Structure 1
Amino acid sequence: MWKIKFGSGGEDPYLYSTNNFLGRQIFEFDEKAGTHEERAQVEEARHNFYKNRYNVTPCSDLICRFQDDEEITYEKADAAMRRSINFWSALQSPHGHWPAQNAGVMFYIPPLVFCMYICGHLDKVFNKHHKREMLWYMYCHQNEDGGWGLHIQGPSMMMCTVLNYLAMRILGESADGGLDNACSKAQKWIHDHGGAVGSGSWGKTWMAILGVYEWDGCNPMPPEFWFYPSIVPLHPCKYSTNLLYFFLTKMFCYCRLTFMPMSYFYGRKFVSEITPLIKQLREEIHIIPYKDIKWSKMRHVCAKEDNYYPHGKVQRLLWDCVYYLAEPIINTWPFNKIREKAVQRAMEHIHYEDENSRYITIGCVEKPLMMLACWVEDPDGEYFKKHIPRVDDYLWVAEDGLTMQSFGSQTWDCSLTVQALFAGNINKEIAAVLKKAHEFLKMSQVRENPPNHLDHFRHISKGAWTFSDRDHGWQVSDCTAEALKCCLLLGMMRSELVGEPMKAENMYDAVNVIMSLQSPNGGVSAWEPTGAPKWLEFLNPVEFLEDLVIEYEYIECTSSSIQALNLFRKSHPGHREKEVDKFITNAANYLEDTQMADGSWYGNWGICFVYGTWFAIRGLEGAGRHYNNCEAVRRGVEFLLETQREDGGWAESYTSYGDFPQQELMGVFMRNCMSHYAAYRNIFPNWALAEYRNLVPFPSTN
């Protein structure tokens, strides 16, 4: 039976942590765990999910929720006062956070399978139980037409269908095997829609690495990019050496760190060993014989299902110039010496990012790429060995199988949960729960900047919180703001109830990070400062994601930052007072300026207009702008009233119309990629119920 473990480093000499693995959550299969009834309960949940997979695609995270080992005593139930708060409190981990899935994207797990297969570690890292659950996840989320979508509720697309088909075959299924003929149905979908050459660019890259596609069919990803002088607009970072960023031209960090290892593989034209299985796959996914494919003509081919963000003529001309003019030159002597040094430079950056994320890396797309790059450099090296034990940090098991998360959402979910619980005004009764969460948040704050961060295109992180845990290392403005709010609120309570308050200097560090991410227009970005020109998005090389190249300001980040700094200035009125006041004023102006014509705001990280409007109004409220003195708030309220349903609730799906069942997807990134946030359906109802009870006068029996 699968069991979730917390804070386990084991005895692996290549696994290390800056924080004693606080917040680490991994799944292990225990042959002896659970009673017969409990194991039957898990199997029933798995099969129920499969039978209903076309009606309800996100999982309910039941395998994790079945594992509440803490006994609910009468005293604890009585103290919680409410069944909802009692239930959610009981699911708190021993570390103080609330474990929950953050996944749902269908191109996450296949590259990890490819990486382990290429490295010869597939059977070493994944046992039969891992493989069984990975296949189950693919079965459960295969569409009725045989393909897979970008996410678990999306229509079938070529890239995800090809990647999942290849993964199923590598995991042991035959070409006509799989549950309900999963493989043959997938192969038919691929052939009916033009073959694997229609995959998006990321799919082509992984296929080229695997050996079922040729590098000549990929648009260039030159590693010389890392040698360009910073005056070049496309360079990943441009900064002044005195730390004062001017006309900051920096790629979006996830784009930068995805193409970093891709450029390494492209520069080396690395191809894995061509095994008999790879030879079979070459013939299975293409509609004409592999040897007859004109690869150079495939570079711009993209299936209509994948082409969410079509490449324009200018971009195609750019890639053609690099492909036909620059690449032949750089690959001939003596210029090939530059290519060798560029590949080495890319690898140096990869090692830096690995070390400063404790080999978690920035996210699940980058993890298998960077891990494989370390193996290609040295199959027996320390770098690769340090990557292996961190694979478990990404895996999540539920009734729909085993998948790879974007990364953990420990800090984010904990911060929202604390505020939802705090809103219930029963803090003394749930003090033990709040204390554990308080300690988790205090211990999860990032304590240092990455060493020599400007030389590696990194922003400051000292004082920030990440989306997941401290080891991850990547600062996020709204995660920092929401965690800071919690620490400020809990710091107002008696220390004997919720622990000692956070030190003032640690709060000052958090404020520094938040304020460093405000743009001239008043908005707040997520990971790094903005500043790159918008026209660079026309060079977005990815067909299925939008707004990928540069960093932007976000409604949610701006709102969270206002709320946190407003609370901070009340408790620490003497610290950077004028700067904080100016920050809040400018941020509130940004929120008013970005309101849509119907009174709503666009939410970037949730679905979508109701979510964004909730954040925006809370942000304006934090700046002292409310219904009576702010037209934007009144318009926002009118939008909410006009969109309320007859049953009293609100509904919105990721397509911005129709119903919003409890288990529809609730997260989103890069405009069109949906994500499954399993904790939201517990956090927000609790929060709403508490606020309703606080604000609405009820009849009293007393």
Structure 2
Amino acid sequence: MIEKTEISRWRLSSDVGVHRWRYLNDEELARSPGQTDAERYLLGLELTREEDKEGFPRTSRSFEQAARAGWIFYSRLQLPEGHWACDYGGPCFLLPGLIFAMYISDTPIPDVWKPEIFRYLSNNVNEDGGWGLHLSGESTVFGTCLYYVVLRILGYSESTPLLSRARECLMSLGGAVGIPQWGKIWLSCLSLYGWDGVNCIPVDLWILPSWLPIHPSRWWVQCRVVYLPTSYLWSNRCSKPLNPLLEKLRGEIYDQPYERINFAKHRNTVAASDRKRSLTLLLRFFFFIITFWCNLLRPRWLLRYANRRVSDLMKMEEHNTGYECLAPVNKAFHMAATWFEEGSKSERLRRHRENVEVYMWMGPNGMTSNGTNGVQVWDTEFSILAAVEAGISDDPVLSPSLHRAHEFLEKSQFRDDLDDEFRQPRKGGWPFSTKSNGYIVSDCAAEGLRAIIKLQNEHSYPKLIDDSRLKECVDTLLLMQNSDDGFASYEKIRGSEYLELLNPAEVFDRIMVEYSYTECTTAVLTALAKFREHYPDYRASDVNRAISRAYKFVASSQRDDGSWYGSWAICFTYAAMFALKSFETVGQQHNNNKGVQKACKFLLSKQKDDGGWGEHHSSCEERKYIDHEKSQVVNTAWAVLALIYAGYPDPTPIQRGLNFILTRPQLIESRQRPNGEWLQEAVEGVFNQTWSHDWLSELQVLFSYNGPRELQISLSSKTERDVVGENHRSYDH
């Protein structure tokens, strides 16, 4: 029996979207009104209504009734502030970083976290005793070693069955010597690896002239913010002093005595189980030159100067994000670097300590770290769009939840730009998660704009956001279009793709610079088109030109087989939904566009015998469509939406996908439970090509039968964007 806390004591608080799980003591529990439906659902506890219980009789529903039932259930899970919460974890390097940072900085780890982290790792361990890069992945040195060290730090004995099996797995993979770069950095900070075995991350890069093509300001932001604090850690050889536990760990994670390991020979050693890509010869030459410079030539005064520059940049990131930082990976490195630089009693470290828990997530299987501090804004935007397109936004019974969502988006809009030389202008835009996080994302800004216009301009919701604020969003979006006509995620593309030749991460691909994406480009295109409908005179030529260029990018991104590669979810069905929405927006459909015809042909070739679609997450890594063994509700919804946007003339495949033929078992409707819920199925999200993340979409596939379009499905797929891999949005994407 795995130890766990008393689950009924957990409560989720929210402050303008910032989540914190709290464990109530006896006095607090006595005063508490009890857990909400949202809290019980997120913790995996049974809900309390009769229709929630197993065995409650099913009733046949029309599509409109199914949509209504789905929204009623979904609104029960809405938090009082108007948004929705969800698990957004998965990668093996999120939780360990936070635990290591707390341990290094002498920050107490709450006792109630320990059994829940143990339970989470027990529930997600592979059969061989290890853990992968992500929850769905085969065991790696990266995952197995980091989680093993976490469990030892939490106080669990090496003889505990979970740990002994993990150590056996680690030894079978060659031990910790072959851990990838990020693991080498953390182990070095813990005095469990020699800094000589970590390829150079010099602070000197940050004092180079910004016009240089390799300057960090030109890197993708998720890469940039990680290598800022790690450059300080590497350049100053920051290591926690040895103690009895660390001494023991040195003898537990290697297959040879620690003292005999020549770490300098293992800078490029990465276990076969972990390596996704090899370092280029150019990068190895760069490492050789810079290591020689740092170790033998660089004067001490220059190191001190570069350290001050890096420290100032770290402080700016902390200030601009309320000490949350962009995501848990750079947050943890910042926290460790702060302790090494300023000690355990500094004000900076106190602020960091206060904001660790915004990433910790308590769920049915235990506690882990989310990949960001949530997906609050993104989910709220798509929830609004789902309700509007499903035709329920004006229903007096259902609309109160939309009014709350509307209010949350108003509070979450950025009202200013930051005094930060590296940051993209953000005024008028929206973030992925919370306003406190501070980072604009192109598609989040676009979907927020579209959601607000639909509510305020088309459905007479209160004008919480005036026209000037909508125009500010448009101004900011227009600044984000790239020279290739597309839109990237956080920022405009600033560097050449040749910078990928200097990618030092062995497990992540395409992380050095921003890229334009079909999904982001479609979001901006459709938002600008919606804005143009209501404000035709505002920057008309700029808006028209941006829409035309964006469509050109989407059209040119289509593959020869008619498909599009999706970077932010799984994968080809997801991208097709977005791409064909772009085509529809500019009047291009099956009856007048060969590209649309090819896209429909591709989608129909993947439809399964039961009428559904099922795509495996390995499609993202392999970059080709790979069938899932079973049809998936979410993939089916995406594919059907794509066919509807395409104006596909034959309703049969659409009807099959939606189970419109009532005389046979129905894929989507029959999977809806009596209370309106859809259960989670396989992982639906991926980014950076190798991280998987779930979309809590079982609740958000809302559909209706609606006149001239015959069938409208409105999908608001709530992201856990868990993370299996490699394609921007959070290192935590």
Compute the TM-score of the two structures, normalised by the length of structure 1. 0.86
Q: Distance in 2 between matches of 1:484 and 1:34?
A: 41
Counterpart contact for 1:118–1:273, Cα < 8 Å = no
Structure-2 change in CA distance of 1:399 and 1:697 (3 Å): closer
Gapped regions of structure 1 (runs ≥ 5) = 8-20, 43-59, 73-77, 238-249
Letter in 2 for 1:205: I
Q: Is 1:376 the counterpart of 2:336 in the alignment?
A: no
Secondary structure of the residue aligned to 2:216 is coil
Q: Is 1:624 the counterpart of 2:587 in the alignment?
A: yes
Q: Distance in 1 between matches of 2:559 and 2:706?
A: 27
Counterpart contact for 1:158–1:196, Cα < 8 Å = yes
Q: Distance in 1 between matches of 2:607 and 2:175?
A: 45
Counterpart contact for 2:133–2:143, Cα < 8 Å = yes
Identity among equivalent pairs (%) = 31
**How do 1:229-248 and structure 2 match up within 5 A?**
229-237=209-217
Q: Distance in 1 between matches of 2:471 and 2:297?
A: 49
- The Cα shift of 1:195 comes to 1.2
Q: Distance in 2 between matches of 1:640 and 1:477?
A: 27
- The Cα shift of 1:24 comes to 1.7
Task: Output one character per residue of 1:550-609: Cα deviation in whole Å (capped at 9) or x when no partner.
Answer: 110011000000110000000111111011011011110111101012111111000000
Structure 1 residue aligned with 2:174, among 194, 201, 204?
194
- The Cα shift of 1:287 comes to 1.0
Q: Corresponding residue for 1:356?
A: 320
Q: Distance in 2 between matches of 1:432 and 1:64?
A: 26
Structure 1 residue aligned with 2:304, among 313, 326, 340?
340
**How do 1:154-553 and structure 2 match up within 5 A?**
154-177=137-160, 181-237=161-217, 250-323=218-291, 325-330=292-297, 335-378=299-342, 379-407=344-372, 408-429=374-395, 430-451=398-419, 453-454=420-421, 457-493=422-458, 495=460, 498-553=461-516
Q: Corresponding residue for 1:88?
A: 74
- The Cα shift of 1:384 comes to 1.1
Q: Corresponding residue for 1:15?
A: none
Structure-2 change in CA distance of 1:157 and 1:61 (3 Å): farther
Secondary structure of the residue aligned to 1:189 is helix
Q: Corresponding residue for 1:18?
A: none
Letter in 2 for 1:110: P
Q: Distance in 2 between matches of 1:629 and 1:395?
A: 50
- The Cα shift of 1:426 comes to 2.2
Q: Is 1:582 the counterpart of 2:545 in the alignment?
A: yes
Structure 2 residue aligned with 1:690, among 694, 699, 704?
704
Q: Distance in 1 between matches of 2:367 and 2:233?
A: 28
Counterpart contact for 2:11–2:24, Cα < 8 Å = no
Counterpart contact for 1:68–1:91, Cα < 8 Å = no
Q: Distance in 2 between matches of 1:227 and 1:141?
A: 43
Counterpart contact for 1:418–1:437, Cα < 8 Å = yes
Q: Distance in 1 between matches of 2:76 and 2:369?
A: 25
Q: Corresponding residue for 1:594?
A: 557
Which stretch has the larger CA shift, 24-33 or 382-391? 24-33
Q: Corresponding residue for 1:12?
A: none
Structure 2 residue aligned with 1:63, among 37, 43, 49?
43
Letter in 2 for 1:445: Q
Which stretch has the larger CA shift, 564-573 or 485-494? 485-494
Q: Distance in 2 between matches of 1:395 and 1:192?
A: 31
Q: Is 1:26 the counterpart of 2:20 in the alignment?
A: yes
Letter in 2 for 1:474: Y
- The Cα shift of 1:220 comes to 0.4
Compute the TM-score of the two structures, normalised by the length of structure 2. 0.82
Structure 1 residue aligned with 2:89, among 95, 103, 115?
103
Q: Corresponding residue for 2:719?
A: none
Counterpart contact for 1:6–1:95, Cα < 8 Å = no
Structure-2 change in CA distance of 1:440 and 1:168 (3 Å): same
Task: Output one character per residue of 1:16-65: Cα deviation in whole Å (capped at 9) or x when no partner.
Answer: xxxxx311221111245889xx99999xxxxxxxxxxxxxxxxx964177
Q: Distance in 2 between matches of 1:493 and 1:40?
A: 36
Counterpart contact for 1:488–1:568, Cα < 8 Å = yes
Q: Corresponding residue for 1:670?
A: 688
Q: Distance in 1 between matches of 2:89 and 2:184?
A: 23
Counterpart contact for 1:174–1:183, Cα < 8 Å = yes
Q: Distance in 2 between matches of 1:68 and 1:439?
A: 28
Counterpart contact for 2:41–2:77, Cα < 8 Å = no
- The Cα shift of 1:549 comes to 0.5
Structure 2 residue aligned with 1:4, among 4, 7, 11?
11
Q: Distance in 2 between matches of 1:693 and 1:61?
A: 35
- The Cα shift of 1:541 comes to 0.2
Letter in 1 for 2:381: S
- The Cα shift of 1:531 comes to 3.8
- The Cα shift of 1:269 comes to 0.6
Q: Distance in 1 between matches of 2:195 and 2:221?
A: 25
Q: How many residues align structurally?
A: 630
Counterpart contact for 1:537–1:548, Cα < 8 Å = yes
Structure-2 change in CA distance of 1:111 and 1:283 (3 Å): same
Structure-2 change in CA distance of 1:544 and 1:494 (3 Å): closer
Structure-2 change in CA distance of 1:565 and 1:338 (3 Å): same
Which stretch has the larger CA shift, 502-511 or 550-559? 502-511
**How do 1:118-129 and structure 2 match up within 5 A?**
118-122=104-108, 126-129=109-112
Letter in 2 for 1:296: A
Q: Is 1:138 the counterpart of 2:106 in the alignment?
A: no
Counterpart contact for 2:705–2:711, Cα < 8 Å = no
Letter in 2 for 1:549: M
Counterpart contact for 1:5–1:27, Cα < 8 Å = yes
Q: Distance in 1 between matches of 2:510 and 2:558?
A: 19
Counterpart contact for 2:123–2:365, Cα < 8 Å = yes
- The Cα shift of 1:697 comes to 7.2
- The Cα shift of 1:500 comes to 2.3
Letter in 2 for 1:280: K
Gapped regions of structure 2 (runs ≥ 5) = 1-7, 53-63, 620-625, 633-679, 713-733
Counterpart contact for 1:6–1:94, Cα < 8 Å = no
Letter in 1 for 2:697: Y
Counterpart contact for 1:448–1:463, Cα < 8 Å = yes
